[in-house]
Amino acid sequence: MQYRNDIHGEPISALGYGCMRFSKKGIGIDLDKAEKEILKAIELGVNYFDTAYSYPGSEAALGEILERTDMRDKVNIATKLPQYMVKSSAGIDKYFKEELSRLRTDHVDYYLMHMFTDIAAFEKMQRFGIEEWIAARKADGSIRNIGFSYHGNTEMFLQILNAYDWDFCQIQYNYLDEKSQAGREGLMAAAAKGIPVIIMEPLRGGKLTDGLPAAAKEIISKDPAGRSAAELALRWLWDQPQVTCVLSGMNSIEMIEENCRVADDALPGKFGSGDFDVYKQLKEAIDAATKVGCTGCGYCMPCPQGVDIPTIFRCYNRMYSDKKNAGRWEYLQITSLQKEMRTAANCINCGKCVSRCPQKIHIPDELVKADKALMPFYIKAALKVVRVFKFW
């Protein structure tokens, strides 16, 4: 296993184990299966295990497995404070103590403020005394390193990055997200400050594997090195020395063995011009199957009419990169199968979103097209019946 960008002198495996997607058994997690997979990952050198308070059953499963296999001291546990649920100073302690109990440990190696989207979220935590609380937990040894995970635009990421003396951070990053979310600019800014960066969503939630359009799959099938879609996405990340650890939600021995093989071999700076050409072709193929060039940055939000613009465009694009019905079903779940409908048709063409869009998309026009594609007449007719009988 390759190790890089030590955090306070401790090596971190280039591949991290994302514990959000343990296999299920009945209504819970299949502990026996997860135990075999965790032990295999540890055997192959993985030492960073990422979970969170809000991942159903994940913390408890990881804690039980590490305790019964006597592996707690062989690994680093990363988990997250659900800052969006914290309502007072007392709430910070409440959630942390519950997490220690679930994990069956007296300390967390890497503790993150979960899912910051803007500086206001951190400022709220500051009002609750989070900085003093962190200092106290570091002093008593119950937290060894403090960081944050991030979903938002680059500008806000940079503000949070510079607002506190963080030990590490976690961002969504992949070859499609170079200019969205924290992006390459955020990665480089963290590296310049000496802050190790953990990568989540390296496969864009499956978009860079199963969700690829046919043209992109054809490019991968002709790759001279025989690399899979997943391997290509992971190698793109590990070619960058600023990347410390890439999380993968592994739930099979085969996946663990394959990812560990790639992680061991994918050293920074190994790419040649031919490799970069492959990614250029892949991005072009993906972009060609994209109806709206929305990066999901969220600059257009909030909409005065409550329209979730980035989500609607994601569903619209999914119709053409994945399957039409997949995009339509996601759209219905998010916008229409609710007590209060918030569809693209709610747009009143006020134009406020247009002036804020970095991609210069004329959003009202595109919302009209999206509504027409996502809600054909027969779905609108069926939806009327659903809403009459309140089937949601």
| Bridge-based pairing state of the strands 24-25 and 28-29 | antiparallel
All domains in the chain, ordered by first residue: 3-279 (3.20.20.100), 309-389 (no CATH)
| Across 246-257, average pLDDT | 94
Q: Which two tokens stand for residue 254?
A: 């085969």
pLDDT at 95: 97
Q: Quick check: pTM over 0.85? A: no
pLDDT digits (tens, 9 = 90+) for 72-101: 999 999 999 999 899 999 999 999 999 999
Distance CA 316, CA 69 (A): 46
**For all residues of the chain together, what is the average pLDDT?**
89
Encode 29-84 in three state secondary structure. Answer: ECHHHHHHHHHHHHHCCCCEEECCCCCCCHHHHHHHHHHHCCCHHHCEEEEEECHH
pLDDT at site 128: 97
Nearest to 296, CA basis, from 174, 121, 162: 174
Q: Quick: pLDDT tens for 18-38.
A: 999 899 888 899 999 999 999
In this predicted model, what pLDDT tens digit does every residue of 104-146 receive, in sequence order? 999 999 999 998 888 999 999 999 999 999 999 999 999 999 9
Rounded CA separation 107/250 (Å): 24
pLDDT of residue 386: 61
Stretch among 25-39, 236-250, 273-287 having the lowest mean pLDDT: 273-287
Structure confidence at residue 391 (pLDDT): 47
**pLDDT higher at 38 or 305:** 38
Tokens of 246: 């890439």
Confidence band of 315 (pLDDT split at 50, 70, 90): confident
Q: What is the pLDDT of residue 392?
A: 45
pLDDT at site 179: 81
